[in-house]
Amino acid sequence: MDRRDWMGLLARAPADVLDRLWQGLGLAPAFEWLRPPEVGGVMVRGRTGATGAPFNLGEMTVTRCALVLESGTVGHGYVQGRNKQQAEKAALVDALMQEDAADRIRAALLEPLATQMQATQDRRAAKAAATKVEFFTLVRGED
Amino acid sequence: MYVAVKGGERAIENAHSWLAEERRGDVAVPELGIAQIREQMALAVNRVMAEGSLYDTDLAALAIKQARGDLIEAVFLIRAYRTTLPRFGASLPVDTGEMRCDRRISATFKDAPGGQVLGPTFDYTHRLLDFKLAADGEVPPAAQAKPQEGPVPHIAGFLNRDGLIQTEAPSDEAPPDLTRDPLEFPANRALRLQALTRGDEGFVLGLAYSTQRGYARNHAFVGELRIGRVAVEMELPELGLAIEIGEVELTECETVNQFAGSKTEPAQFTRGYGLVFGQTERKAISMALVDRALRWRELGEDNLAAPAQDEEFVLSHCDNIQATGFLEHIKLPHYVDFQSELELVRRLRADTEALHEAAE
C-alpha cells in the first residue's frame, strides 16, 4: 500500500468507520497546522463519448488540510465532502504512515478500513450480478 | 425595469416565519431528517446535484428540505452555495470504462460482453401504486449472486474496432467552463455538454422528444446505458502525484445514430453522449439525443431549423436557474414602469375620445 493508495482510501472512507478505527489506535500526536481544514470544490471532468476530449461535468465538495508533526513530518489530508475532522484524521494518518508507527497503522486502521469498504462494494456487485439477464429475440408474426 | 422599494420589513419578516411554520407542517407528524431525504428520496437528491452542478448528497438533501420539496428552488440553493466555495482545481477526466456498474444495458447488442445488468430499475414494474408502502414495511433483502469479474468494456469500443462508428478524437485540451466565462456562440462540444448536463431535465427531455418526433430526427438507439460509481482523481502539485479524492455515482448514455456517409467517407454510425451526476437515466438519454442533434454542422447535415439543432436556443434556455430568475423577476415591484405605461394608455384613450367628440 503506497501513499497514493492510503490517501485514496482515506478520501473515500465513511467518516464513522474512520473515526472508530482512529479512536481504537489511541493516538493523539501533537501537530501544527500548515493549512487548517478548508472546504472547497473540485471540478469533476468527463470525456466526450467516454474517450474523447474532456468537458466539465460539475463540482464536488472536498475538504483538505496539511499539518506537521513535532518530528517535522508533513501530512496531507484530502477527503470527499465537508467533514473537517475527517480531513484532520486523514492528514494525521498520512503523516504517521511516513514514520515508525506505519506498520501499526496499516494493520489496525488502513487494512480493516479497506476490507470494510471492499465488502460494501462487493455487496453491491453481488446484487447487480443477480439482475443480469439473457435476452432472447423471438420470431415475430410478420414476414 | 423593477425599482427599489422601501418598507414592508415587518410583513417580510412575518412571511418568513410563516414559511418556516408551513415548511414544518403538522407538528404531530415526525419531522423529516436530512438522512431520510438522502436515503429515501435519492433520485430527487440526484436531480438536485445534477442541475445544481455540485455533487454532495447531504447538501442536496438539506436543500430539498429547505425548499419544501420544490426541486428548482433546491437547485437554486445549491448553485448559490457553490459560488461560495473556493475552487481547489479540476479532476482528471473520470474513466467510465472502469465504472463499478449497478446497471448496464444495451438496446443494440443482445449479447454485449460484460452482460446486460438491470440494476435497481423501474423498468418492468407495472406502475401500479403500491399501498404496502403506505404502511411501514420491512423490505426483504435483495438477491445476490456471484459478482462478475473483469472489466465491462464500452459497447462503442467494439463498433469502433470495425470502423463502423465515428471515433471521438482523443485530446487533453482544457475545456471551457461556463461557470467562469459567459456562454459564447458558436459553442464547442465540451461547452455544450457542460450546459446540457446541468440543464433542466424537463427542458432537455422535451427537446430530445422533439427529435424523436421528427424535428431533426437522427434515429437514436441506446447503444449503452450504464449507472455506477467511478473514482475521481486529482493531481496534487504539492505532492507531485495524482490521488483519488472521492467517488461519484454517474449515469452514462451513448447513443448510436444514423449516418449516411459521403463521397469521401464510408457510411458510419455517429454518436451522441450523455453523462450526468447520480442515477439520472431519463436525463442522460435526453442529453445524448440533444448532443447528437446539436452536432449537425460538424457532421455535414442539413440545418432543418429544428429547435434541438439551434445551439443558441438550447444553451440559452436549458438552465432552470437563469430561466427562473428572469421569469420570476416580473413579480417584483415594477411600479415605475407600470406607472408610465398607465399614463400612456390614459393619454392615448383621452386622445381617441377627443377625436371621437370632434367627429361628432
Give the model's pLDDT for residue A135: 65
Mean pLDDT of B223-248: 95
Domain-embedded: residue B59: yes
Number of separate domains in chain A? 1
| pLDDT band of B343, cuts 50, 70, 90 | confident
Mean pLDDT of B302-330: 95
**For residues A44-64, average pLDDT:** 97
Q: Do A44 and B146 touch (CB under 8 A)?
A: no
Res A34 pLDDT > 60: yes
B89 pLDDT more than 60 = yes
* The pLDDT value given to residue A142: 60
Q: Which residue has the higher pLDDT, B259 or B139?
A: B139
Grid cell of A31 as nine digits = 501537530
Residue B141 lies in a domain: no
Mean pLDDT of chain B: 92
Cβ atoms within 10 Å of B113's Cβ, excluding its own = 12
With cut-offs at 50, 70 and 90, classify the pLDDT of residue A25.
Answer: very high
Does the pLDDT of residue A132 top 70, yes or no? Answer: yes
Residue B2 has pLDDT above 70, yes or no: no
B89 found inside a domain: no
pLDDT score of A143: 54
Kindly determine whether residue A59 and residue B271, on different chains, have CB atoms separated by under 8 Å.
Answer: no
Per-residue pLDDT, averaged over B240-264, amounts to 89
Tell me whether residues B93 and A54 touch, CB distance under 8 A: yes
Question: Does residue A78 or residue B263 have the better pLDDT?
Answer: A78
Chain B residues with CB inside 8 Å of A126's CB?
144-147
Residue of B nearest to A81 (CA): B56
Q: How much is the pLDDT for B233?
A: 98
Note whether B146 contacts A48, CB cutoff 8 Å: no
Residue B90 lies in a domain: no
Determine contact: B251 vs chain A, CB below 8 A.
Answer: no
* Containing structural domain, residue B38: 9-82
- At B301, the pLDDT band (50, 70, 90 cuts) reads confident
A69-96 residue pLDDT tens: 999 999 999 999 999 999 999 999 999 9
- Model confidence at A141, pLDDT cuts 50, 70, 90, reads low
How far apart, in whole angstroms, are the C-alpha atoms of residue B327 and residue B135?
40
The answer to whether residue B260 scores a pLDDT higher than 70 is no
Q: Write the residue in A39, A48, A56 that is nearest to B168 by C-beta.
A: A48
Of B87, B102, B244, the CB nearest to A41: B87
Residue at B131 is within a domain: no
- The average pLDDT across B154-173 equals 85
**B4 inside domain:** no
Q: Which residue bears the cell 513530518?
A: A73
**Candidate ranges B85-99, B140-154, B339-353; pick with highest mean pLDDT:** B85-99
**A136 lies in some domain:** no
Query: Considering its fold, how many domains does chain B have in total?
Result: 3
pLDDT at B157 over 60: yes
> B104 and B26 in one domain?
no
B101–A contact, CB cutoff 8 A: yes
Query: What is d(CA B287, CA A58) in angstroms, rounded to the nearest whole number?
Result: 15
pLDDT recorded at residue A137: 67
For residue A90, the chain B residue with the least C-alpha distance is B245
Which residues form the domain of A65? 3-129
Nearest CA in chain B to A64: B88
Same domain assignment for residues B115 and B249: yes
Give the one of A55, A126, A132 whose C-beta lies nearest to B194's C-beta. Answer: A55
Three-state DSSP state, B274: strand
Q: Are residues B216 and B343 in the same domain?
A: no
- Compute the distance between CA of residue B46 and CA of residue B129 in angstroms, rounded to an integer: 23
Residues of B in contact with A132 (CB under 8 A): 115-118, 145, 148
Q: In this complex, do B93 and A45 lie within 8 Å of one another by their Cβ atoms?
A: yes
C-alpha cell at B11: 410583513
Of residues B55, B90, B191, nearest to A45 (C-beta) = B90
Q: Report yes or no on B2 lying in a domain.
A: no
| Strand B241-257 to B116-117 pairing | unpaired
Q: Are residues B108 and B239 in the same domain?
A: yes
What pLDDT score does B244 carry? Answer: 97
- What is the 3 state secondary structure string of chain A? CCHHHHHHHHHHCCHHHHHHHHHHHCCCCCEEEEEEEEEEEEEEEEEHHHCCCEEEEEEEEEEEEEEEECCCCEEEEEEECCCHHHHHHHHHHHHHCCCCCHHHHHHHHHHHHHHHHHHHHHHHHHHHHCCEECCCCCCCCCC
Q: Indicate the residue of B175, B244, B271 with minimum beta-carbon distance to A12.
A: B244
B185 and B312 assigned to the same domain: yes
Give A123 to chain B, closest Cα distance, Å: 8
What are the DSSP E strand ranges found in chain B?
Answer: 54-55, 87-90, 100-105, 116-117, 221-236, 241-257, 270-277
Among A51, A4, A122, CA closest to B155? A51
Nearest CB neighbour to B189, from listed A48, A50, A129: A48
Flag if B86 and A41 touch (Cβ within 8 Å): yes
Size of interface A-B (CB pairs under 8 A): 234
Inform me whether the C-beta atom of residue B53 falls under 8 Å from chain A C-beta atoms: yes
Residue A115 lies in a domain: yes
Q: Are B159 and B288 part of one and the same domain?
A: yes
Q: Which residues of B touch A62 (CB under 8 A)?
A: 88, 245-246
pLDDT of residue A17: 96
Lowest mean pLDDT of A93-97, B59-63, B172-176, name the range: B172-176
pLDDT over 90 at A109, yes or no? yes
B:71-100 residues touching chain A, CB 8 A cutoff: 82, 85-94, 96-97, 100
B327 CB within 8 Å of a chain A CB: no
d(CA A118, CA A70): 34
Query: Can you tell me whether residue B124 is helix, strand or coil?
Result: coil
In a domain, B1, yes or no: no
pLDDT band at B3 (very low <50, low <70, confident <90, very high): low
Q: Does B139 touch chain A (CB under 8 A)?
A: no
Q: Supply the pLDDT for residue B1.
A: 59
Whether the per-residue pLDDT at B103 is higher than 70: the answer is yes
Indicate if the pLDDT at residue B28 is higher than 60. yes
From the list B92, B239, B271, the residue facing A49 with the nearest CB is B271
Q: What share of chain B in percent tops pLDDT 70?
A: 98
**Most B CBs within 10 Å, among A57, A67, A118, to test the B interface:** A57
Q: Is residue B157 located within the same domain as residue B51?
A: no
